A and B are shown apart, each in its own frame.
Chain A
């Protein structure tokens, strides 16, 4: 079956612009996660969704970052007024139930470059 998909695969933007990154989880997966992978910080958790609600937003680095999930499926991560330090690969993952032991399935990521 189809895995987790993300779009766009690459995004180049200018400092100060807003960007939206999209994630399509595996059908039927109730849990969805966003992570960020950067050279300096490694892989960092950003936010977790269970259905349409986000019980854990603790990893969002600033109020310029927000995310939503609609219909318990597609999620969008929005970064406002992008800064150069936002350059990274943004990874989305989904899991069946969102429990601590569930396997997370990762998408290929969106590479964001802020000039």
Chain B
């Protein structure tokens, strides 16, 4: 079975500073990895996903993530954050095979951007 650990429950940061949200996963099989964002009172929106190929994945809103198989990590980064990036971020894994599209999520990281 797979699991996802988001190492920080809350990350405060000042506007225009860089940010990294950490995600580690455990799985006995090859996985597909996703980052979703949830703005207040809204549903989840896909930021980016890693399926195969280049380990550096670029997503929407200037976010990127790097897949590291040896460290089983998929950390999310943004070089300069805006107030509008304040939201909760979820890392998720799909184990492939017969798991269909079932996603296993981490506990979420609340990113708060201060002016």
A contact residues vs B (CB 8 Å cutoff):
3-4, 31, 33, 35, 42-45, 48, 50, 55-56, 59, 91, 93, 95, 98-109
B44, B45, B104, B106 pick with most chain A CB within 10 angstroms: B44
B17 within 8 A of A: no
Give the residue of B32, B43, B104 whose beta carbon is less than 8 angstroms from that of A100: B32
What number of residue pairs across chains A and B have CB atoms under 8 A from each other? 67
Give the residue of B44, B51, B101 whose beta carbon is less than 8 angstroms from that of A95: B101
Of B61-69, B77-85, B91-99, which stretch is located at the interface?
B91-99
Which B-chain residue is minimally distant from A92 (CB atoms)? B43
Give the residue of A33, A45, A55, A91 whose beta carbon is less than 8 angstroms from that of B43: A91
A-B contact pairs, 8 of them (CB 8 A): A42-B105, A42-B107, A48-B100, A56-B99, A100-B32, A100-B99, A102-B101, A108-B43
Contacts of A102 in B (CB 8 A): 101
Given A101-B32, A103-B49, A108-B42 in contact, is the A31-B101 Cβ separation under 8 Å?
yes
Q: Interface size of B by Cβ–Cβ distance < 8 Å?
A: 26
Contacts of A104 in B (CB 8 A): 46, 101, 103
Check A101–B51 contact: CB distance below 8 A. Answer: yes
B102 within 8 A of A: yes
Given A100-B94, A100-B96, A103-B49 in contact, is the A48-B101 Cβ separation under 8 Å?
yes
Contacts of B45 in A (CB 8 A): 106
Q: Which DSSP category, helix, strand, loop or mixed, fits chain A's interface?
A: strand
Contacts of A98 in B (CB 8 A): 100-101
B54 within 8 A of A: no
Give the residue of A91, A103, A108, A109 whose beta carbon is less than 8 angstroms from that of B46: A103
B70 within 8 A of A: no
Distance in angstroms from A2 CB to nearest chain B CB is: 13
B36, B101, B102 pick with most chain A CB within 10 angstroms: B101
B41 within 8 A of A: yes
Check A50–B90 contact: CB distance below 8 A. Answer: no
Among residues 101 to 115 in chain B, which have CB atoms less than 8 Å away from a CB atom of chain A? 101-108
